[in-house]
Every structure is written in C-alpha cells, then in structure tokens.
Amino acid sequence: QNGSATIKGVILDSGSPLPGATIYLKSTDYGTTSDFDGKFQISGVKPGSYELLITFMGYSDKVISVNLVQNQVLDLGRIILEASSEALEEVMITALGIKRETKALTYAAQELKGEEMTSARETNITNSLSGRSAGVQVVGGSSGVGSTSLITIRGEGSLIPGQNSPLFVVDGIPINNNTISNRSEGNLETDYGNGAQDINPDDVESMTILKGPNATALYGSRGSNGVILITTKTGKGSRGIGVTYNQNVTFESALRIPKYQNEYGQGAGGEFEFFDGFGGGTNDNIDESWGPRLDGRLVVQHDSPTSSGLRAGDFAVRPRDENGNFTDEATATPWISRPNNIKDFFKTGYTITTNVAVTGGNEDGNLRISYTDLQNEGILPNTDYNRRTYAFNGSYKLKEWLKVSSSVNYINSNSKNRPNNSYGTENIMYLWVWFGRQIDMNSLKDYWQPGLEGLQQFNYNYNWHDNPYFTMFENTNAFDKDRIIGNVKVDINLTDDLTLMLRSGMDYGNDLRVSKRAFSTQRFANGQYREDMIYSKEQNTDFLLSYSKKINEDFQLGTSFGGNHRKEENRYRRISANSLSVPGIFNFQNAAEPLSKTQFDDTKTVNSLYAFINVSYKNFLFLDITGRNDWSSTLPKNNNSYFYPSVGLSAIVSDMVELPSVISFAKVRAGWAIVGNDTNAYNLRNTFSFDEPFGSEQRVSASSILKNENLKPEESQSYEFGADIRLFSGSVGLDVTYYKSSVKNQILELPVSITSGFQSRIINAGEIENKGIEIVLNATPLKLKNSFKWNTAVNFSSNRGTVKKLIDGLDTYQVSENYIQVLAKVGGRVGDVYGTGFVEVNDPNSEFYGQVIHNESGFSLRDPNLKKLGNVNPDFMLGFQNTFSYKGFELGVLFDWRQGGVVNSRTVLIGGTSGMMDFTVVGREDGIISEGVIQNADGSYRPNDVRLSGRDYYWWKYNRGNEEVGMFDASFLKLREVKLSYQIPSKLIHKTPFEAITLSVVGRNLALWTENKHFDPETLSFNGGTVVPGVEDMATPSSKSYGFNLNVKF
C-alpha cells in the first residue's frame, strides 16, 4: 500500500522468545501474532498515532505508543513481557457466566481451552475431560464412536446410578445430558449416547469445571454434582474478517479383543459334523467350541460346497427328496484354525471432521459463524455416526448502555446403524462367546440363502444365532436427531455501577430412532419395525441485576440479584410392529400383528430466586456469600420451596505477608455450602401402567415403585479447603483441595424386597459422605534459551464415598444389580460390589487356609452367601500431561492412570463355559483337577484329587453365577493422547493469504496396560435402561485412534 508503514519487533520473556503473543494496534484492524522466534511484523499500516497492545496469557499486557510516518519501518527491537505475578490477572468464567479473577475464587475450578480438545479430538467432548482435570472421572462407553460416556465429579454423591452427571451449561443455558435407553419389545439396548456429546469441540472456546457445591451453589439443585460451563467461540477480539479451516482425520481400530483359543473347533465331546445347523449332523446344534482339534482333518462344515452347487448351510434351498432328506452331497473341507476370524470382523473405522469458521467484528460488535461436518464409520461393519453443527454467535452494542447478543447451535446427528449392547443375539459380542473357532468369517459375508434374499439368512448355526453380517447389515438401529441450543441476551448498563442482564434460552431435542429386523432373525422370525420418538425441550428464562462499587481504598463490593424460570418437557413414544406381513417393507402398515405401544410424557417446572455478594478487601481478601431459593413442581405442596446458602473466603497470603522469595504467589481458600435437590416428575402418587392386551382383554399392572407423598427436598452440605501456591516465578504451580460433602435426606428409589409388594420405594434417606483430595501440579521443568520448553501437568484425585446412614432399620442399600450387586452398607464404601463364589477353608490355622473346598465328586462348593468382591470405584486417578515445545514443534503426551476398582467380566465367564477363551485349552484331552481341597468326614481336608472332564471343569467354574471367578482388577494406565504439532513459520507463509498453518499428528488411547488381556476395564453395561458401572457385559471393544489435524487461519 502506498506510503504505508510497518512495525516489527521481537517479543521475549526475559531472554527466550515468546511465540504466539497477540500484537495489535488498538482501535484498528491491524494485528498479528508472534512467530516461534517471537518475531512479529505488521505491514500496511496507515500513518498516524497508535497504541500498540501486546498480550500473552500469563504475562502483563504491554502498551507502546507509536507514531508512524509514511513508509516508515519501525523496529521496536526486543520487547520484554513481564511475567504477571502469574494468574493474578487470569479470569475464569464462573457460575451464571460471570467472569471472575481466578485469584478471587473461593473454590476449586479448572478451565480447559478449546484447542486442547480439538486437535487430538474425541467425538464425544465428555471424553476430552479424561485425565485433564482433577476429580473428574470419565468412563467411555462400549459402542464405539457415539456411545455414552459417564462423567462424575468428586465421586458419586447420589446413590442412584445415572444421576451423578454434572450439569452442562452452554453459554449460560443448561442442557440435558441424558442417556435414554430403548430396552423392551425383545430388543437389546442400543447406546445412542449422552446428551452432552452433541456439543461440537470446534465451537468450544473454553470449558470451566466447577467441582464443588461452593462453586455451583448458584445453579441450585442441578449443580450438586458439579457444573461444566461451556463457552462457545465468539468473534470477540477479531479485527476485520478472520477465517479458520480445520481438518481432522482419524482412524480407529479395536484396542483390545478377547483372547480366544485356536486349537479346538465347534462341537461337543470332540465331535462335530455339519448337516443342517439344527442338530441334524453331529453336534451341529452346538454353538460352543468343544469340538475336534483343529488339525486339518476333513469335516463337512456350514460353508462346505455341495454337489448342487450350494453351501451345506443353505438348508432352505438344497434339493430334498419326498421325505425331506437332502439329495445333494456336501464335500468335507479342512478343519483348521482361524486365529483372526473375529479380529477380521472388525475393520478400521475413520472419522473425518471438517470445520470452517468465519469471524468478524469491530468496536461495537462481533460475530462468528461456524459449520462443522463430522463423519464416522465405526469399527463394526455398517455402523456410523454423523454430526453436522451450525453455530452462530454474535453480539452488538446498540447503544453505549445496551448490548444484545445471541448464540445458536443447531446440531443434527444421525446414524444408519448403532450396535446393540448387553447379553443376547442382537449384540455382536454375544455371538463371539458362542461361536466355533474354526469358522471362516468370510464364509458368512454372503448372508442370504440364494433365491431367498430378504427371507432366509445363511449361517453356521440356526438353533440360536444370527449371522453376524446379517445382524450388522439387515438388523439396524438408526437414529436422526435434531438439537437446537440457543439463547438471546440483553445486557443493560443502568448506571456505571448497575447492570441488568435478561436472557432466555432453550435446549430442544427431537430424536427419531428406527429399528428394523429382517425375516428369519432369531428373535423376530417375521421381522420387526419399530420407532422410538424422543422429544425434549427445556426453557430457561433468567435475569440478573448486578451492582458493583468501589466503596473506598480498601473495599470493593459486588452484589447481584437474579431469578430463573425453568420448564422441562419430555415426550416419549414407542411403537413397534413385532411381526410383518411382507418382507423388506418397514412401516407400520405392514404389521402382521397389533402394534405394541408405549407413551410417556412428563413436565416439570422450577422457579428460582438468588442473590450473591462478593466483598474484597485490599484486593487480597475475598468473601463470597450466595443464597438461592427454588420452588419445584415435583415436590409436595408443603415441601416444594427450599433455600440454600454458601459462604466462601479466600486470602492471597503472598500479598498479605512477606514470604520467602521462591514463593511468588500463595492463596488459601475455604468454603461452605448447602445445596438442595428436588426429584423427577410424578414421584408422589402411585399409578397403574398399561400392558399390551391379551387377546381382547386390556391389561394394567400395579406400580412396582411405591411413590411418596411426603417427600422433602434433599440437602447436601459441603466444606472445601484449598491452597494455590506458585513457586519460582510461577514455573511451578500447586493447587491442593480437600473437600468433604455429605448428602442428607437423599431422594432415593430404594430397592426393597419384592415380597413387600414393591421392587423399590421412593424415600428421603441416608447420609452419604464423600471426601477427597485433588492436587493439580503445573510445572515448567525445563526452559531453554533456544525456545525448548517442557511443561508438565499432573491431575491427581482420590475420593472416598461412605454410607453414614440409611434409614432406621435398614443397613444396606442396593445401588444396582446386574449379576453383581453394588451395595451401599452403612459404614461401607460407596460402590462396594457383592456376589457369590466358592466356599473356602476359613480356618486360618489350617494349612489349606483360603483354598476352595470341593465335594467328593471334585466340584467346588458354591457359597450361597454374598461376599464382598471389591469396589467399582478407583482408589485414585492421575492424569499426567507433558508438553514439549521447540520452535514450531509441540509434542503433547497424556497418560491417564486409574488405580483400584474391580470389574466383572461376563465375556470371560461365559466364554469360559463355551470353550471360546484361550484358557479353556488346558485339560481337554486328559481332564483337569480343580485346585483346592476336599473335606474329610472328620472335618480335616485333603487336596482335591478328582479329575473332571475339561468341559465339566470349565462349565462348573465359570458358571455365570460365580461372579467371584469373573472379577478383575479394573486398574489401568492408558496412553490417552499423543499429539505432535508443527506450526509453519510465519515467514514461510508471509506472502500467502494464510495467517497461520498448524499441522498435527494425533493419537488417542494408543496403549492400555491392565491386569487382564481380554477387555478394556473402562467399560459400562446397561441394565434395564440404567448405565451400570463395574460390569463388562459383552462390551464392544473400545478403540484407539490415530490421524492428523490441519488448522489453517486466513
């Protein structure tokens, strides 16, 4: 540009370059960022007087006044930024979206930047939190991309499984994080994911994790499990038009597949020959691998060719005589091991995410629009997950005193097929615990019998199973979900000190799930067509009046008063045609029997008023007081109003007294809070539920849950103490928090003996105490002049939940039951697991102490008494993040370690009885003696010497009722994330339209170290619609992913 001037310089931090600092001329569009040498250059500046502003996180802002004349090249030389006495200037978004100085906070909170979650990304943003924040536990789901992730903060305050999720808030609007199950109609559950997974990482500016009730008191009931505040990106700070383009491509493969044996094939007693797959041959009805040794002998198999040109398993089309006997002959084929048959069923999945965002702004306003397209193909054939997100965020200052803003996210997610979970033929992992180890998986790919396409599947067994490819391609569970999360907001500056915010927002979801089952499916001989419609709407309208005033030199006061009206509406419809007239037509008109129908709608309203006061003294002592009152429609008239207060205090010790010079900053904080909680809609009075009619007789069932008209709101009280210390000019930061919370009058659905007429009753009960510590350590162990830098961060947390009290006369609460029972016993730890096992010698003086006792026939004795088998919760969790940067390179490595906890594996138990698992090879030929003792008539013991057949031994020992045998240590260490990125030096792209280009190679969940070799202990199971931890129930393998990320800024 003619006559324009140029400014350049180098940004340094007492000697080493500072890449990434923001440099711009105030009130203009001119600006840039420093490159990895700390250098910057702004060209084409119109001559004039400017203020040059240099900002960088963790450093004090620097302003330089410049006066530019035509064609001047102003070299400012070395500009040294002062490390701000760290964090002092940091601000964090806190409850109700209020920005607070981090140093003033009276509670523990952690903030994650959006970019930490986008290069090595998780499709489900919940997973991105794993290992990154102390006290946050994330358990990834078991159905691949798109599955539910269970997240808990500071342990399980509620004893109700699935009710421990923190509240997710997007731009001030609470959103639902529900997992809605679809059991029933004879279908197994499908995991359609948790609500928060709809959030698109590309649009997230930051996530603040508010952990304890002190931090969340202003959110009321729903904040009692912590709050995750998501702030979406805006165009703020942009000068002119900015465009970013991000491309992420990752490949996924199964992380760990059970170890199967490869020495014996299908059958029983060492014998097998296929005839029709119904038992017409030798053990061809047997779906277990107790058959002949895989020694290459010739055996007729399901895929052996016949003289009629078909496959032996084409029973429905092979020629037959008038007696129904096949008239063609099948030719025996080699009986050989197929070590990779199951492994080969899984494929390499991929996820392609493309994001384009445009920002723009000026002094009065800004906006950002963003489009993101995510396409995933799963590691199971014909499974996918797609998500498109349209995001808009804008604000405009209409008047000096009036600002309007809005953010809207429209998200469409869909899938043509999501895999089924749990135990049964619809789950692919179930098929592998009942399988023939000799089966060539390729032989099943052509899954129709010729001429009977759409009518009759082809399989290796017809008694029990569906062909796995038939299951994946014909029996699909699709969904298509629209979600809109949006708000409009008005900020009014009434006076210099008084502001008013008005806001209304909505989280709207509409999900249509469509399941199809083809003819000849085991469970649906004549097919099935089913739709589940799930509609949810939550509206929140709130206001906040805020006043802040510097009273005198020492005191500053901030106070606010606000209110919120919330209305939740949910509608659920399920309609199913459980048999069809014509194959291949999937709609309700084609139903061959009366439709099965379910309908459930609910509505809930909560009104709230709240106020808070912040007082600061000399900017080193801070006091927070909050109070909130809720009125909930779900509680009885007399108990539907409840108030809860919180008080917090923090002191910057380093500003109050002289500390040794190594301590650059020290703060202590303490807080106390009470949080109330309501319940779900319709928990006060019993109702009858409709069943499907029997013939022409309509039917209803009595409620299995005893409702309660005298419910009270629950109350949780917590204390929190913490310290934030930074050493060596901020190169080491340590934040320690100790907390103790106790929930009283918890509203529980307490399981009761069914002999009382109910399975559970709703009551206020108990006192659950959680206490724990969280340690966050940040350090820069190495920082060299040549710009090499090593940052390390450790997030450690340990939580203990204890049951202090239940109700009078009751000392055990059954948290969940899915083969194992998770019990809360008074005095016991939350998450204790009980189950049955074998009788052991319990005399500590016996030389056989601890050994399993057997009967005279050599079978171990089962103990009908439940025994404690461990605890599902980890003893501690540790995330360990290291970042190495050098010039434009950055290498990040995140380890996630969970120590302790147990998990029950149904795959190992059932695969143990079916001869599938690797360990079942031992003893097949010669039998096996079960380890332990036999009790003599005189009460003494002798070593067991009775040899059982191999099959009897495994059948008895791994019986699925012997939960003890299937228990494994759930401790694991995962290489959660590896990321190597390179930012192309700005001088190389100086002349291009690009402002910055960053290329990354990324990987997630690349390695797993754990006790067992069969499955990932980080797993969930479903039971009756509830997500149950601590059980591996035919879980789809978790996946590792690797790929690259390209980020371009224009």
Partner 1 sequence: TNDFEAINTNPNQPEVVTPNLLLSTVISSTVSRNALTGWNNGNIVSQLTAKINFTGFDRYDWGSESGLWNHYYGNLSEIEQILQISRNETSKNTSYEGIALVLRSWIYSNLTDNWGDVPFSEAIKGQTDGNFTPVYDSQEEIYTGVLADLVTAETLLEQGQPILGGDLLYNGDLLKWRKLTNSLRLRYLMRVSKRKDVSAEIRQIVTEGMIFTSNADNAVLKYAANSQVDSWPISIGRIGGFDEHRLSKTSETLLKDFEDNRLFSWFQPTDNKEDDPNLFAGMLNGLSEDNASTFNGGANNVSRLNQSFFYDAPDAVEAPLMQYAEVQFILAEAAQKGFILEDAKTFYENGVIASFEYWNTSQDFETYLSQEGVAYDGGLETIMTQKWLASFLVGLESWYDFRRTGFPSFIVPGQDNVNNNQVPVRFLYPDNEQTLNTENYQNAVSKMGSDDINVKGWWEK
Nearer residue to partner 1 within complex by CB, 401 or 600:
600
What is the Cα–Cα distance from 504 to 171, expressed in whole angstroms? Answer: 11
Alpha helices (H) along 33-161: none
Judged by CB, which is closer to partner 1: 777, or 861?
A: 861
Told to check if 809 binds partner 1 by CB under 8 A, we report yes
* Minimum CB distance to partner 1 smaller for 464 or for 982: 464
Task: State both tokens at 806.
Answer: 């239940």
Separation of CA 315 from chain center: 45
Residue of the chain from 307, 327, 587, 704 that contacts partner 1 (CB under 8 A): 704
Between 186 and 242, CB nearer to partner 1: 186
- Residues near partner 1 (CB under 8 A), total: 100
Query: Which residue lies nearer to partner 1 by CB, 71 or 855?
Result: 855
699 sits near partner 1 (criterion: CB under 8 A): yes
What mask, x for binding partner 1 by CB under 8 A, covers residues 461 to 490? -xxx--------------------------
Stretch that binds partner 1, among 48-56, 627-635, 649-657, 668-676 (CB under 8 A): 627-635
Binding-residue pattern over the window 321 to 340 for partner 1, x denoting contact by CB under 8 A: --x-x---------------
Left (φ > 0), alpha (ψ -120 to 50) or beta: where does 154 sit? left
Q: Which of 27, 71, 307, 698 binds partner 1 (CB under 8 A)?
A: 698
Nearer Cβ to partner 1, position 199 or 872? Answer: 872
Binding segment for partner 1 (CB under 8 A), chosen from 121-129, 520-528, 839-847, 998-1006, is 520-528
Binding-site member from 70, 689, 940, 992 for partner 1 (CB under 8 A) = 689
What is the closest distance, in whole angstroms, from the C-beta atom of residue 1024 to partner 1 in the complex? 13
Which of the residues 407 through 426 are near partner 1 (CB under 8 A)?
A: 425
- CB closer to partner 1, 386 vs 607: 607
From 27-35, 166-174, 279-287, 483-491, span contacting partner 1 (CB under 8 A): 279-287
**What element of type H or E holds 431?**
helix 428-433
Contact 26, 11 (CB under 8 A): no
Place of tokens 């008539």: 937
Q: Which is nearer to partner 1, 863 or 995 (CB)?
A: 863
**Identified binder of partner 1 from the candidate list 268, 478, 557, 929, rule CB under 8 A:** 268
Query: At CB < 8 A and 24+ separation, what contacts does 542-548 make?
Result: 542/172, 542/502, 542/503, 542/504, 543/500, 543/501, 543/502, 543/503, 544/96, 544/500, 544/501, 545/498, 545/499, 545/500, 545/501, 546/498, 546/499, 546/500, 546/501, 547/497, 547/498, 547/499, 548/497
Answer yes or no whether residue 269 interacts with partner 1 by CB under 8 A: yes
Q: Can you tell me which of 589, 855, 936, 992 binds partner 1, judged by CB under 8 A?
A: 855
Q: What is the DSSP string of 468-490?
A: HHHHHHHS-EEEEEEEEEEEEEE
Residue 640 contacts partner 1 per CB under 8 A:
yes
Q: Is 285 in the site for partner 1 (CB under 8 A)?
A: yes
What are the start-end ranges of the E strands in 233-364? 240-254, 298-299, 333-334, 349-361
449 is a contact residue toward partner 1 (CB under 8 A): no
Please report whether residue 70 would count as binding partner 1 according to CB under 8 A.
Answer: no
Report the alpha-carbon distance of residue 132 to residue 143 in Å, rounded.
Answer: 23
**Does the footprint of partner 1 cover residue 935 (CB under 8 A)?**
no
Q: Which of 350, 432, 834, 880 binds partner 1 (CB under 8 A)?
A: 834
CB of 515 to partner 1, least distance (A): 15
Q: Kindly report the backbone phi and psi dihedral angles of residue 657, in degrees, each rounded to the nearest multiple of 5, phi listed first.
A: -130, 160
Which residue in 124, 405, 522, 560 binds partner 1 (CB under 8 A)?
522
When asked if residue 264 is in the footprint of partner 1 (CB under 8 A), the reply is no
Per CB under 8 A, contacts with partner 1 among 179-218 are 186
Report if residue 757 touches partner 1, rule: CB under 8 A: yes
Amino acid letter, 915: G
Q: How far is the CB of 467 from partner 1 (least distance, A)?
A: 14
Q: Which amino acid is at 330?
A: A
Give the range of 107-115, 363-371, 460-468, 665-673 binding partner 1 by CB under 8 A: 460-468
| Residue closer to partner 1 (CB basis): 191 or 288 | 288
Nearest distance, CB of residue 487 and partner 1, angstroms: 24
Longest dimension (CA), the chain: 110
Q: Which residues is 479 bridged to in the sheet?
A: 415, 513
Burial-class residue 337 by CB neighbours within 10 Å (0-12, 13-18, 19+). Answer: middle
| Of the residues 13, 480, 952, 995, which one makes contact with partner 1 according to CB under 8 A | 952
Q: Give me 906's structure tokens.
A: 């149904």
Q: Which stretch binds partner 1 (CB under 8 A): 189-197, 341-349, 379-387, 626-634?
A: 626-634
Report CA torsion sign: 961, 965, 967, 973.
Answer: negative
Q: Which two tokens stand for residue 767?
A: 């006192």
**Selected range binding partner 1 among 98-106, 400-408, 698-706, 996-1004, rule: CB under 8 A:** 698-706
**CA dist 554 → 56, 482, 493, 648 (Å):** 29, 52, 25, 19
CB 469 within 8 A of CB 381: yes
Toward partner 1, which CB reaches closer, 758 or 968?
758
Nearer Cβ to partner 1 (599/846): 599
Using the minimum distance from each CB to partner 1, give the nearer residue, 477 or 522: 522
Strand partners, 852: 840
752 near partner 1, rule: CB under 8 A: yes
In the bound complex, what is the minimum distance in angstroms from residue 962's beta carbon to partner 1? 11
Footprint of partner 1 on 25-64 (CB under 8 A): none
How distant, in Å, are the alpha carbons of 717, 820, 824, 872, 1022 from that of 832?
A: 23, 10, 7, 6, 18
Pick between residue 799 and residue 821 the one whose CB is nearest to partner 1. Answer: 821
Instruction: Check residue 460 for interaction with partner 1 (CB under 8 A).
Output: no
Task: Answer yes or no whether residue 845 interacts with partner 1 by CB under 8 A.
Answer: no
- Grouping H, G, I as helix, E, B as strand and the rest as coil, residue 283 is coil
271 forms part of the interface with partner 1 (CB under 8 A): yes
**How many Cα atoms occupy the beta-carbon half-sphere of 210 within 13 Å?**
31
Nearer to partner 1, 333 or 836 (CB): 836
Q: How close are the terminal C-alpha atoms of the chain, in Å?
A: 19
Two structure tokens written together for 1001:
């190679």
Find the binding residues for partner 1 in span 669-688 (CB under 8 A): 681-682, 684-688
| Cβ 946 to partner 1 shortest distance, Å | 12
The interface region with partner 1, picked from 490-498, 817-825, 902-910, 1018-1026 by CB under 8 A, is 817-825
Exposure pattern of 255-264 as b/e (b: 16+ CB <10 Å)?
Answer: bbbbbbbbeb
3-state secondary structure (DSSP) of residue 102? helix
Our finding on whether 842 is near partner 1 (CB under 8 A) is: no
At 101, the amino acid letter reads E
Q: Are 437 and 261 within 8 A, CB to CB?
A: yes
Using the rule CB under 8 A, is 956 a contact of partner 1?
Answer: yes
The interface with partner 1 within residues 567-606 (CB under 8 A) comprises 578-579, 593-594, 596, 599-605
**Whole-number Å distance between alpha carbons of 328 and 325:** 9
**Judged by CB under 8 A, which of 203, 252, 287, 624 binds partner 1?**
287
Sign of CA pseudo-dihedral 97, 102, 107, 110: positive
Comparison of 710 and 846: residue with beta carbon closer to partner 1: 710
The answer to whether residue 958 forms part of the interface with partner 1 (CB under 8 A) is no
Q: Beta strands 204-210 and 109-113: pairing type?
A: antiparallel
